[in-house]
Amino acid sequence: MAPTGGVFALFIVLSSWALMKSGLSYGSDSDIQCLRSIMESVEDPYNYLNSTWKFGNNSNGFICKFTGVECWHPDENRVLNIKLGDMGLKGQFPQGIINCSTMTGLDLSNNRFNGEIPSNISKILAYVTTLDLSSNSFSGGIPVDISNCTYLNILKLDHNQLTGQIPLELSRLDRIKQFSVSNNRLSGPIPVFSKNATITEDDYANNLGLCGYPLPLCENTASKSSNTKVIAGAAIGGVTFAAMFTAIVLFVFLRRRVSMKKDDDPEGNKWTKSLKGSKGVKVSMFGKSVSKMKLSDLMKATNKFSKSNIIGTGRTGTMYSAVLGDDTSLMVKRLQDSKHSEKEFMSEMATLGRVKHKNLVPLLGFCMVKSERLLVYKHMPNGTLHDCLHLSEDEKRAMEWPLRLKIAIGAARGFAWLHHNCNPRIIHRNISSKCILLDSDFEPKISDFGLARLMNPVDTHLSTFVNGEFGDLGYVAPEYSRTLMATPKGDVYSFGVVLLELVTGESATRVTRDLEAFNGNLVEWIRQLSENSNLEDAIDESLVGKGADSEIFQTLKVACSCVLAPGPKERPTMFEVYQLLRAIGGRYNFSTENELSMPTDNGNADRLEELIVAQ
């Protein structure tokens, strides 16, 4: 199945794009000041910084070319990581790093830094996930404030001159995976970390006298614990049996009571009972497409938010089908634990109510009742893309290729608009085939846009992922576990997985074909086929040999550019993905020219050209 050159039509667009210059700056003055202050506060005897850290440029992304600096995006002056290891740098901890406010990784290892680690380290590095200060000459104690760096995965403080005890408060770092303090002058008991951490005796070696698992038990604790256990064992042994018997009886009795209550309320929606006195609360509407409503209308339309009305459940909340008295069909989402105040929520709603595009599910209104937050959407009669693609064997009815490509192009257009043309720019953070809904004409409509911010102003998406609670792991970009921050390129990865679903017919988390040879997720399967030059084998057999083989393969290659790129920087932007897909589907007239204004990412034209040639 040799791919054709249909996508070369984009060269006409690219020739003009390459000449465009943007007056819009995505830079961050504070990040530039951050790096400038670092350079001014440290000695650089080998000129690692002096040779490349030139501040006379001021173009978009110029700091991303500095040695040891990684950015969120190559065209934005926003620092992601600073890696200055093994440069022979001298001085104290550079306090100016506080101005790199969205930085997630700091590596100052194997240098000659001295002095104390700042006592307010969590304010300086608010979102740090990796902190490596090893092999320096830092002295004094380990600051208790490190325990407030709640996103930390990796903390390396070994080979320094740190003294005193390790703060036991560090045990609150429940995301920690690596921790090392060997070769210091520390003493006393060590903190107990979560079971996810891989910490050995070597990580504590060569200190003055540390104790506690996995090291020898602390002597005073061990002796007291032994005596206490003997006394407590004798006291408790006599009553244990009676307590267990009583607990079992109470458990059975309460289970029966709960069962009886569920029979009285078969739907079991206890939260709706708290709303009984608030049924007169009005639903705030953004337009006149639906008549004025009250909470009582939503209650009636959803059968009191009956479980039988649930049409989808995800990280952001539960979606219910609703039918008003005049037979108007809607969808009502009950948000999951919004962290915003009422004023902040109103502000977010005012923003989202203005966000309108042909490929977004229209947000019609919202309702605030006590702690509950309810959103009202237009009904999408053909459900989710996930359900249409992955029908049960009894319902099996393969989607034809033109329809799959139409959905891919429309969804890409919607996501590209959110990333590049929407004001403010919106990162979806939770892209999957479940968030792409289909209207009566199977036009794709993106749901849940902007909702991730309502869950947590920092990033619930990633905190739930790190804690193992994220529901759609097959879509999560690999860098999330390290950075804990959502980015446009993370969205691109997730959409690449959706494209793979459209081309292969397989689900994101499990491949049903080739089960004997492979038992991983969809991206891992595609990577294996790509390495063996067997990508054609991934295509859904129901699509092969119907006159669209070249288009299907080209779409597969676009998907691979999103999910198999070496890192986030090498992935295309969402606008580039849309342009590639639009060129592939040119003969179907799914889209019109100039429906998205072209983003002015200087220097991206050549990279898009390379992507096109690769097809």
Residue 457, helix vs strand vs coil: coil
Ordered alpha helix ranges (H), 429-548 = 452-455, 460-466, 480-483, 488-504, 522-531
Average predicted confidence (pLDDT) for the chain: 79
Rounded to an integer, the average pLDDT of 448-454 is 72
Residues with Cβ within 8 Å of residue 274, at least 6 apart in sequence: 370
Residues with Cβ within 8 Å of residue 93, at least 6 apart in sequence: 108, 113, 115, 116, 117, 118, 133, 138
Q: How far is CA 459 from CA 64, 144, 451, in A?
A: 24, 24, 11
Whole-number Å distance between alpha carbons of 180 and 202? 8
Q: How far is CA 79 from CA 71, 149, 221, in A?
A: 4, 18, 45
Residues with Cβ within 8 Å of residue 377, at least 6 apart in sequence: 330, 331, 332, 333, 361, 362, 363, 364, 447
**Is 436 in contact with 408 (CB distance < 8 Å)?**
no
Q: Are strands 282-285 and 209-211 parallel, antiparallel or unpaired?
A: unpaired
**Quick one: tokens of 596?**
């998205």
Segment 325-369, tens digit of pLDDT: 888 888 988 887 666 667 777 877 877 878 888 999 888 888 888
The answer to whether residue 276 scores a pLDDT higher than 70 is no
Rounded to an integer, the average pLDDT of 430-442 is 90
**Is 284 in contact with 367 (CB distance < 8 Å)?**
yes
The answer to whether residue 461 scores a pLDDT higher than 50 is no
Torsion, Cα 576 578 580 583, to 10 degrees, reads: -140
Other C-beta atoms lying within 10 Å of the C-beta of residue 50: 12
Whole-number Å distance between alpha carbons of 242 and 252? 16
Q: How far is CA 367 from the centre of its chain?
A: 27
Rounded to an integer, the average pLDDT of 593-612 is 50
Segment 180-212, tens digit of pLDDT: 999 999 999 999 988 778 898 889 999 988 998
Whole-number Å distance between alpha carbons of 151 and 37? 25
Of 559, 551, 568, 493, nearest in space to 526 by CA: 559
Burial grade of 474 (CB within 10 A; 0-12, 13-18, 19 or more): buried
Rounded to an integer, the average pLDDT of 603-609 is 47
Whole-number Å distance between alpha carbons of 207 and 159? 10
The answer to whether residue 580 scores a pLDDT higher than 90 is yes
**Is 455 in contact with 373 (CB distance < 8 Å)?**
no
Which is higher by pLDDT, 372 or 253?
372
Whole-number Å distance between alpha carbons of 461 and 475? 12
Residues with Cβ within 8 Å of residue 320, at least 6 apart in sequence: 302, 305, 306, 309, 310, 311, 331, 332, 333, 334
End-to-end CA distance of the chain: 12
Other C-beta atoms lying within 10 Å of the C-beta of residue 4: 13
Burial grade of 395 (CB within 10 A; 0-12, 13-18, 19 or more): exposed
Per-residue model confidence (pLDDT) at position 511: 83
Rounded to an integer, the average pLDDT of 68-86 is 87
User: For the chain, which domains are there?
Assistant: 27-211 (3.80.10.10), 382-585 (1.10.510.10)
DSSP bridge partners of 116: 139
Of 479, 484, 434, nearest in space to 460 by CA: 484
Per-residue model confidence (pLDDT) at position 123: 92
Whole-number Å distance between alpha carbons of 97 and 84? 13
Which is higher by pLDDT, 71 or 602?
71
Segment 358-402, tens digit of pLDDT: 999 888 888 888 778 888 888 888 888 988 888 755 555 678 999
Whole-number Å distance between alpha carbons of 577 and 565? 14
Rounded to an integer, the average pLDDT of 267-288 is 67
Whole-number Å distance between alpha carbons of 405 and 549? 12
The answer to whether residue 572 scores a pLDDT higher than 90 is yes
Residues with Cβ within 8 Å of residue 22, at least 6 apart in sequence: 60, 600, 601, 602
Other C-beta atoms lying within 10 Å of the C-beta of residue 594: 6
**Is 436 in contact with 508 (CB distance < 8 Å)?**
no
> What pTM was estimated for this model as a whole?
0.56
Q: Calculate what percentage of the chain has a pLDDT beyond 70.
A: 74
Size of the chain in residues: 615
Per-residue model confidence (pLDDT) at position 552: 94
